[in-house]
Amino acid sequence: MSLAVALTRASEGVAAPLVTVEVHLSGGLPGTSIVGLPEAAVREARDRVRVAIQNTQFEYPARRVTVNLAPAELPKDGGRFDLAIALGILAAGGQVPREALQDCEFLGELALSGELRPVPGVLPALLRARHGKRCVIVPSGNAHEAALLGDVEVRVARTLADVCAHLRGSEPLPAPDATVGHHDPGSMPDLADVRGQLHARRALEIAAAGSHHMLMIGPPGTGKSMLAARLPGILPPMTDQEAIEACAVRSVAGEPFDTTAWRRRPFRAPHHTASGVALVGGGSHPRPGEISLAHHGVLFLDELPEFDRRVLEVLREPLESGRIVISRAARQAEFPARFQLVAAMNPCPCGYAGDADGRCRCTPDAIARYHGRISGPLLDRIDIRSDVPRVPLVELDAQRGARDEDSGTVRARVVAARNIAMRRAGKPNALLATREIERDCALGNAERALLERAMEKLSLSARAYHRVLRVARTIADLAGSERIAREHLAEAVQYRRTEARATG
């Protein structure tokens, strides 16, 4: 029998569907054909595999070689199938035992010398392989990813010859030996570096505690970017599941990551010239964009009105759903996008509206056009708006000004408030559904009357109504209160008044 089967996995978003590589040797003129909807890189594998087998001192069959990649309707691209194809050919020719292929999955691109090159998307493949109870053999260049999962049997190989020796039972392959450390929050930018801005610091703390989206408005040089960069340092530590999901997106994107700090929350800050594809992902072979690379982390958009309006509008759906679906003619890919949006903008085109020196010469129409670059529906999805005014010189002086709280102190309060929300609903307050809001954000008569007056005065939408309640619930959690009091609700409402001033 000249038929052998090897298993591997494709890359489809953050999924990794199983691909069965069937290799059949038959009579006729020598040649190799690959079927099963292969794209150019996969079709070229026949040449890479042939030379790699020959340079590894094995015999390439002088027969008709047919390679089928099943399922046939799944597009295959990249060099990730090289190792499985080579082993299937060797097993069909009797050079490695066929039965040894049954309990393994193989990932890796072959160099002409027979060495294994790393491939993207190994971590999602390992996550799916853990359910199959099979050993996964990956290139040594992917050892850092393989070391993150302790419940999957993984072996790393440097060359095709090493894999063949392992399958023959003569030289077992080693397990990944990469250092997996724990993230030290103290290594991140410290909130104590930001002088003054007590109101904005308070808003940032509330945003961190409830995972709320935030917009900062202020003139240039007042610390908006500094505050945003310090948000990851006051967020609660990532859980194992969150860290694995974030690393899986980076694995698909082919981005390197440090296993000694793999629990660090992502912080992505794309330039305002970024395209829609760069922000949400896309391409003929769909790849994750910045919003997916910020999964379980922070997406910072500085100079928000300078982004193309069509680019900003694509954020509306993932802000609500926490995922992005990219559809192409031949395929569809879904990427997670549960990020926390932090944006910053100036109060006017020149940036100095409201300054006491009166240097701003922007007309009301120019200011209105500037703010009009951000649509109402997008603004409505941002929970907290905070003014970041110019800081007096006495507060900037490190010797005369009092030192503000550091990130560790603030993070302790954030973690305590987040734990309250997790025990109550199993999720941050920003993700509460309508029924959960009715259950966890019940108001008394006085509080309900205050919110009704605020809705009428500020013309708040139904979405804004629910977002005010979510923010008020977070403020109450920070205060250790079981119910939302009048002062909690009043503070939540004033974070919507900033929008009214900015756009009015």
Q: Which of 123-132, 138-147, 399-408, 469-478 has the largest mean confidence? A: 469-478
Retrieve residue 502's tokens: 């900015």
Q: What is the DSSP letter of 138?
A: E
Give me the chain's average pLDDT, please.
Answer: 91
Query: How many CA atoms lie less than 13 Å away from 359 in the CB half-sphere?
Result: 7
Cα 129 to Cα 104, 137, 176: the distances in Å are: 10, 11, 16
- pLDDT at residue 402 is higher than 60: no
Verify cis geometry, omega within 30 degrees of 0, for the bond prior to 71. Answer: yes
Average pLDDT for residues 130-155, to the nearest whole number? Answer: 89
Between 402 and 83, the higher pLDDT residue: 83
- The percentage of the chain sitting over the pLDDT mark of 70, rounded to a whole number, equals 94
Q: Which pLDDT does position 499 carry in this prediction? A: 44
Strand partners, 268: 299
> Closest Cα to residue 218, out of 31, 38, 79, 352?
352
Three-state SS at 390: coil
Q: Where are the alpha helices (DSSP H) in 288-433?
A: 290-293, 309-313, 316-321, 364-372, 376-380, 393-396, 407-425
Q: Which pLDDT does position 359 carry in this prediction? A: 82
Q: How do beta strands 332-336 and 323-327 pair?
A: antiparallel
Collect all residues with Cβ–Cβ distance below 8 Å to 266 and sequence separation of at least 6: 232, 246, 293, 294, 295, 296, 297, 298, 339
Among 169-178, 219-228, 400-409, whose mean pLDDT is lowest? Answer: 400-409
Cα 195 to Cα 42, 225, 239, 395: the distances in Å are: 56, 13, 31, 6
Q: Which pLDDT does position 328 carry in this prediction? A: 74
Between 391 and 10, the higher pLDDT residue: 10
Retrieve residue 13's tokens: 């978003």
Q: Let me know if the fold of 3-168 is the same as that of 185-503.
A: no
**What is the tens place of the pLDDT at every residue in 203-240?**
999 999 999 999 999 999 899 999 999 999 999 999 98
Q: Which pLDDT does position 332 carry in this prediction? A: 82
Which of the four pLDDT bands, split at 50, 70 and 90, describes residue 398?
low
Q: Which pLDDT does position 502 carry in this prediction? A: 43
End-to-end CA distance of the chain: 78
Q: Which pLDDT does position 178 carry in this prediction? A: 63
Q: Where are the alpha helices (DSSP H) in 154-286?
A: 160-168, 198-210, 224-229, 240-253, 276-280
Q: Which pLDDT does position 187 carry in this prediction? A: 75
Q: What is the fold, at CATH topology level, of the domain defined by 185-503?
A: Rossmann fold (3.40.50)
Which of the four pLDDT bands, split at 50, 70 and 90, describes residue 182?
low
- pLDDT at residue 146 is higher than 80: yes
**Burial bucket for residue 401 (CB in 10 Å: 0-12, 13-18, 19+):** middle
Between 504 and 323, the higher pLDDT residue: 323
Q: Which pLDDT does position 145 carry in this prediction? A: 87
Q: Which pLDDT does position 184 carry in this prediction? A: 64
Among 6-15, 130-139, 251-260, 360-369, whose mean pLDDT is lowest? Answer: 251-260
Q: What is the DSSP letter of 296?
A: T
**What is the tens place of the pLDDT at every residue in 285-333?**
888 999 999 999 999 999 999 999 999 999 999 999 999 998 876 678 8
Q: Which pLDDT does position 118 carry in this prediction? A: 95
Which of the four pLDDT bands, split at 50, 70 and 90, describes residue 266?
very high
Q: Which pLDDT does position 481 carry in this prediction? A: 95
Average pLDDT for residues 338-354, to the nearest whole number? Answer: 92
Q: Which pLDDT does position 503 carry in this prediction? A: 43
- pLDDT at residue 35 is higher than 50: yes
**Burial bucket for residue 91 (CB in 10 Å: 0-12, 13-18, 19+):** buried
- The percentage of the chain sitting over the pLDDT mark of 90, rounded to a whole number, equals 73
- Which parts of 267-394 are beta strand (E)? 267-268, 281-282, 287-288, 298-301, 323-327, 332-336, 340-345, 384-387
Query: Which class is domain 3-168?
Result: alpha beta
Cα 204 to Cα 73, 75, 174, 408: the distances in Å are: 48, 44, 46, 14
Q: Which pLDDT does position 429 carry in this prediction? A: 97
Query: How many CA atoms lie less than 13 Å away from 160 in the CB half-sphere?
Result: 30
What is the C-alpha to C-alpha distance for residues 324 and 333, in angstroms, rounded to an integer?
Answer: 8
Q: Which pLDDT does position 391 carry in this prediction? A: 83
Query: How many CA atoms lie less than 13 Å away from 255 in the CB half-sphere?
Result: 17
Give the domain ranges of the chain: 3-168, 185-503
Retrieve residue 190's tokens: 């410290």
What is the C-alpha to C-alpha distance for residues 348 and 330, in angstroms, rounded to an integer?
Answer: 45
Cα 145 to Cα 17, 53, 74, 127, 291: the distances in Å are: 18, 27, 25, 11, 21
Q: Which pLDDT does position 206 carry in this prediction? A: 98
